[in-house]
Amino acid sequence: MSTEGKTFDFAVLRRLYRKGQPYRKAFALTAVLVLVLAVIAPVRPGQMRQIVDVFVPQGDHAGILRVSLLFVGVLLFESLVQYAQTWIANRVAQSVTLDLRGELYAHIMKFRMRYFDRTPVGQFVTRLIGDIDGIAEVFSVGILDIVRDILKLVVIITYMFWVDWQLTLMVLLPVPVLLFATRLFQQAVQRSFQDVRNQVARINVFIQEHVSGMSIVQIFNRERIERDKFHAINARHRDAHIRAIWAYSVFFPVVELLSAASVSLMLWWGLGDALSGKVSPGLLLEFSMFITMMYRPIRQMADNINVLQMGMVNANRVFRVLDEEEAQKDEGTLEPEQVSGDIRLNDVWFAYSDEQWVLRGISLHAKPGSMIAVVGATGAGKSSLAGLLNRTYEHQRGEVLLDNHPVDHYSLAWLRTRIALVPQDVFLFADSILNNITLFDATITREDVVRASKEVGTHEFIQRLPGGYDFQVGERGAMLSTGQRQLIAFVRAYARNPSVLILDEATSSVDGESEMLIRLAMDRLTQGRTSIVIAHRLSTVRKADTILVMDKGQIAEQGSHNELMKSEGIYHRLVSLQFEPEE
């Protein structure tokens, strides 16, 4: 989780501001407003000097009133400009982050599954929420505020030198110490903020994983252990924040102390000249206001530089994800109207990483409308084989053909509308049953869903639920049983009328009644279409045209149920182990 790269990277900053190009007019307007704020900075102190040095000695009450009203007018104008600048800058910031978050999410959705296999979900949450929000501050309080503060300092100090260069030099004597303290503060806060972001990512990963696995935590009585682990992570997050707070608690009093030192030096140097008539009281008042106006931007600038640097750290993390070349290749153009469902695998080799082969030299032929069953021990490569057909994963060697064309010659979206997968671990979104079946596909109507449910045999159980097809299933379908979730997955597949069906352990971990319903659904679903059935319960594969027995990533045996039983090989042993104890 450590942050990589430079903390102040102009290449990252340029790339970040290119994201704001659609809003360059609004951004330019904020820059103009920043310039206005800097230019009018000396006006109010000058007005106060005029009141004290000109109108008060003359007893000109009308002049005092006139300049006081102008003072209030300038203050109101400055407040209005500040409001407009802040509002526009924040609107630009939120617009940029809206676009960037959408771009990042769209990019992530194109990634291969292997990227999600090795990346914690909490890390994606941090990138999409925390890091993007940090980027917003670059546009709202980052570079523009730094430019404003620098311009204001340049204008104020230039004006002070023009009015009285000797008094200005005296006032500026503590500034080198302030700049040194600012640099130390900026480095300390930078390190602590980076640590804070890393700890936030760790907390996100931990919470995402452990809330999802809370049942395991409770079943195995690990509440105290996991609470202690979370306390340790949370404590590191607190300590990182405390280090940042410590830096602020030291820096701000130092700024106030040095500001007071500048005022003291001004009074020490200027009072003698004031008594001799060389310096007017109004000038001393004007310079005291300038000191306050000068030190405040320096203090704010240190904080804004930290905001800018953390924004670039966040941007660097987001850009690293955007630069990941993990997108699923989709260069195929074939989109035929009809598919017979003829599937061939010719000497296919597959590994999730490097050459740690999960499948070795797999060859098979599934004729249109036939059912191919794949059985074998856990880890034999059954589910990996299924993932190659709809290109959830990409094979490294050999050929995977659909109707005599390599699967990567087809459009990816088209391919996945023709090949439906019913997984073992069914994922349902926190939404209605209807929306979990249609997945917001406008081409599938409620009538289509009801018709598909009746065909599959799930309509009655859905109707018994409160609200029927509008029943809210809860997060990950928690309001439904495992068997009910599995049946919803069957309807989801059937409603799309696929040409090829893949059933991955569809009857595992369900009760007897649900298994019976699922078998009926399987019979209905597999009629008239090519089916690949990956099975743990061997009673579901006896009707298969061909049974493939996987062992250590290879096809060890193949044939019909009767043929394999007669051969008394691996399949015979698996059947015996599964059914003889019951008998």
State the average pLDDT over residues 160-187.
80
More confident residue, 494 or 248: 494
Check whether 408 has a pLDDT greater than 90: no
Check whether 1 has a pLDDT greater than 60: no
CA end-to-end span of the chain: 54
Out of 3.90.1150.10, 3.20.20.70, 3.40.50.300, 3.90.45.10, the CATH code matching 343-579 is 3.40.50.300
Please check whether the two domains, 16-322 and 343-579, share a CATH topology. Answer: no
pLDDT confidence bin for 582, thresholds 50/70/90: very low
State the average pLDDT over residues 239-245.
79
Q: What is the mean pLDDT of the chain?
A: 79
pLDDT confidence bin for 3, thresholds 50/70/90: very low
- 530, containing H or E segment: strand 530-534
Report the predicted TM-score, pTM, of the whole model to 2 decimal places.
0.71
Percent pLDDT > 90 in the chain is 0
More confident residue, 204 or 78: 78
Residue indicated by tokens 């659609």: 22
pLDDT confidence bin for 276, thresholds 50/70/90: low
Q: Which residues contact 463 (CB under 8 A, 6 or more apart)?
A: none
More confident residue, 132 or 119: 132
Q: Is 393 helix (H, G, I), strand (E, B) or coil?
A: coil
pLDDT tens-digit series, residues 322-369? 888 777 777 778 888 888 888 888 888 888 777 778 888 888 888 888
Check whether 5 has a pLDDT greater than 50: no
Q: Is 440 helix (H, G, I), strand (E, B) or coil?
A: coil
Check whether 4 has a pLDDT greater than 80: no
* pLDDT score recorded for residue 363: 87
* pLDDT score recorded for residue 509: 52
Q: Which residues contact 109 (CB under 8 A, 6 or more apart)?
A: none
pLDDT confidence bin for 58, thresholds 50/70/90: confident
Beta strands in 443-519 (DSSP E): 500-504
State the average pLDDT over residues 186-208.
76
Distance CA 422, CA 497 (A): 13
Alpha carbon of 195 to those of 157, 158, 199, 214, 239: distances in Å?
37, 39, 6, 28, 9
pLDDT confidence bin for 2, thresholds 50/70/90: very low
* pLDDT score recorded for residue 475: 80
More confident residue, 580 or 204: 204
pLDDT confidence bin for 581, thresholds 50/70/90: very low
- Mean pLDDT is lowest, of 133-147, 530-544, 568-582, for 568-582
Closest CA to 485 of 448, 446, 518, 522: 518
Check whether 528 has a pLDDT greater than 60: yes
Phi/psi of residue 441, each to 5°?
-80, 115
Check whether 274 has a pLDDT greater than 70: no
Distance CA 455, CA 437 (A): 14
pLDDT tens-digit series, residues 103-115? 888 888 887 777 7
* pLDDT score recorded for residue 515: 63
Residue extents of the structural domains in the chain? 16-322, 343-579
* pLDDT score recorded for residue 80: 93
* pLDDT score recorded for residue 147: 79
The residues with which 375 forms a beta bridge, in sequence order, are 549
Token pair belonging to 32: 């103009």
State the average pLDDT over residues 301-313.
76
Distance CA 42, CA 76 (A): 15
Closest CA to 247 of 195, 202, 175, 172: 195
State the average pLDDT over residues 70-80.
87
State the average pLDDT over residues 418-443.
84
Distance CA 434, CA 417 (A): 19
State the CATH architecture for 16-322: Up-down Bundle (1.20)
